[in-house]
Amino acid sequence: MKDEKLFDIRLVEKNIAKGLITQDDFEKYLKSLKDEETNAREVIFNKDENS
């Protein structure tokens, strides 16, 4: 697997455009990620009426 920093969601489009990775590389990377749904927590934000 290529350097995981290349797949950073903030940079992936730029890295694809530069030819550092391909769209296929990115899709394979996403499929290789472990499902962490069971570790997720719901976060509820209450809008402060005074802000």
Domain ranges of the chain: 4-33
Whether residue 26 contacts residue 16, with contact meaning beta carbons closer than 8 Å, is answered with: yes
pLDDT given at position 23 = 97
Q: How far apart are CA 11 and CA 16, in angstroms?
A: 9
Residue bearing tokens 């350097």: 3
The alpha-carbon radius of gyration of the chain (Å, integer) is 17
Nearest to 25 by CA among 5, 7, 50: 7
Please write the tens of the pLDDT for every residue from 1-51: 569 999 999 999 999 999 999 999 999 999 999 999 999 999 998 887 665
pLDDT given at position 46 = 86
pLDDT given at position 1 = 59
